[in-house]
Structure 1
Amino acid sequence: MPTDVDRQLAQADALLDRTRERYASVSKRSKQRREAEVLRRVGRIAAADGLILVVAIVFGVAVAPLGMMGALLVAALLIAATLFFAVLPVSAAPNVEKLAEVPLKALPVTTERWLETQRPALPSPVRGLVDSIGVKLEILGPQLALLDEKSPAAGEVRKLVGEQLPELIKGYARVPEPLRRVERNGLTPDQQLAQGLQVIDDEISEMSSQLAQGDLDLLATRGRYLQIKYQGDEASGPA
């Protein structure tokens, strides 16, 4: 018969497994995001360099030979284009002030993109939480596709994801850097940020679970209806 110690060990093992799964998911997502960004940057550089080479070849054939100076100019343009597109942001950062105008089903992904732009300015200890929130936002997005924009649940999602999360990050950013580790009312701004992000992470998880539960209830209801309808028809059919 399991003892209290055995049960505690089992609970600890379960907690460790959930933690490993969580951070494995975050790590995988971060890797995929970096790879996708690298591919987009390489694609832009290849397109720009290819266009420069095509124009140079057409000019050399149809107008006049490029010569040494022309070749040097083409090389300079290739280097400049490569450097320019290597540092240019892949996509424009979402405007956090316009999150209220974003359709509900696109709100989580749009907020996640904005949150990613804020990540480098946040303290290292909370970046794992930021990644965790990003993963949950990506999961939440498809769940909102059929949710009525005017429903109370939609209002709660907009308030948490589109208002409270950005306000927490913006409020932290307004605190001067030297004061972020100064304790006030028992907590430093760094600690307050971590606590706030943890609460938001938990709330998004709860929202996602509630939406999933609604889908599961609907599926179970539909399954019972089909079972009654078709199995009932078979039972009442000709012998």
Structure 2
Amino acid sequence: MTSYETNEALARARGTLDRVKLQSFEGLPTARRPRQGRSLAKRVAAIGGANAAILLVAAIIGLAVVPLGIFGALAVMMMMLAVTLAIAFAPGPRPVTVEKLAKSDLKALPMQTTRWLDAQRPALPAPAVQVSDRIGLRLDTLGKQLASVDDSTPAAADIRRLVGEQLPDFVRDYQRVPRELRGTERNGKTPDRQLVEGLELIEREIGQLTEELASNDLDSLETRGRFLEMKYKDGDPA
């Protein structure tokens, strides 16, 4: 086995282990958890909150208005069961399509692209899943920055092109390759390897866009820091 094949095998093994850890949620910060798991956690929290509210109202009625009795307690239990089932089986958000990405508002585009990318995880090799997780974190940061970005600026056009068009188109091109050929070397690289390298390049480009958007804030912080240093240097406010 060549060193390249060994590294690929190790990467796949690490990717499998990472996915098991992500599913268990043990020892991982919230930002690294799969969004499907976070959605489940939100439903559980909603069920807990709704049932707690029902119990609180029932307690207030029972103490301040009229004792509930056995039939009242049964009614409360039935209401809690109905609320639990309603929340548990409520339909989730509609899946994001590439066409929807193209029409997304700029400020919602990073979140929508992350949702779309999460849905592609089962069809990606383990090393690519690791890179897609890092892209998701980059997109989370980018989404926070876009609140102050005008949709008509060149930066906005670059973001929309990279995040809303080139990233999904690249992943879809890979998915069109038959599974039997994805590990077959062609022109020195396998499609699996090309996917990983392309996603890594996209991750770096998103990071570069993030740094460019933050440059004005960083310059302002540096300028203000120099001003404060000059004004209060050596503890002399004069």
Do the two structures share a fold, i.e. TM-score over 0.5? Answer: yes
Q: Do the aligned residues in 1 keep the contact of 2:110 with 2:139 (CA within 8 Å)? A: yes
Counterpart CA distance in 2 for 1:103 and 1:218 is 28
Distance, in Å, in 1 between the alignment partners of 2:34 and 2:116 is 17
Distance 1:32 1:179 in 2: 28
Pairing 1:1-239 to 2, within 5 Å after superposition = 27-28=28-29, 29-31=31-33, 33=35, 35-42=37-44, 85=88, 90-220=92-222
- Report how far residue 92 of structure 1 moved: 1.7
**Alignment check: 8 A CA contact 2:111 2:143 kept:** yes
Which one is further off, 202-211 or 98-107?
A: 98-107
Contact 1:104 1:158 in 2 (8 A): yes
Query: Offset of 1:168 from its aligned partner?
Result: 0.9
Map Cα deviations across residues 198-237 of structure 1 (whole Å, 9 max, x no partner).
Answer: 0001111111111111222234456778999xxxxx97xx
Q: Can you give the 5+ residue segments of structure 2 that lack an aligned partner in the other structure? A: 1-27, 51-70, 72-77, 231-236
3-state SS, counterpart of residue 144 of structure 1: helix
- Identity of counterpart residues, as a percentage? 47
Structure-2 separation of matches of 1:121 and 1:166? 13
Corresponding residue SS for 2:95: coil
C-alpha distance after superposition, 1:106-153 (max 9, x if no partner)? 111110111001111101121110100000000001111111211111
Matched AA of 1:193: L
Instruction: Determine which structure has more spread, i.e. the larger CA radius of gyration.
Output: 1
Q: Within 1, Cα distance between the matches of 2:222 and 2:45?
A: 46
Hey, what's the Cα distance between the residues in 2 that align with 1:91 and 1:44?
Answer: 16
SS in 2 for 1:212: helix
CA distance in 2 between counterparts of 1:122 and 1:131 reads 12
SS at match of 2:147: coil
Distance 1:32 1:113, change over 3 A: closer
The 1:104/1:225 distance shift into structure 2, 3 A limit, reads farther
In 2, Cα distance between equivalents of 1:175 and 1:32: 26
> Which amino acid is the alignment partner of residue 99 of structure 2?
E
What is the identity, as a one-letter code, of the residue corresponding to 1:114? W
SS at match of 1:181: coil
Indicate if the aligned counterparts of 2:145 and 2:213 stay in contact, CA closer than 8 A. Answer: yes
In the other structure, the counterpart of 1:50 is: none
For structure 1, the residue ranges without an aligned partner over 5 or more in a row are 1-26, 48-60, 62-73, 229-233
Distance 1:32 1:184, change over 3 A: closer
- Cα pair 1:41 1:90 within 8 Å, conserved: no
**Distance (Å, rounded) in 1 between the aligned partners of 2:229 and 2:182:** 60
Residue 111 of structure 1 aligns to a residue whose secondary structure is: helix
- More deviation, 140-149/128-137: 140-149
3-state SS of 1:145 partner? helix
Secondary structure in 1 matching 2:93:
coil
* Aligned residues of 1:106 and 1:141 also touching (Cα < 8 A): yes
Structure 1 vs Structure 2 CA RMSD: 3.8
| C-alpha distance in 2 between matches for 1:148 and 1:200 | 22
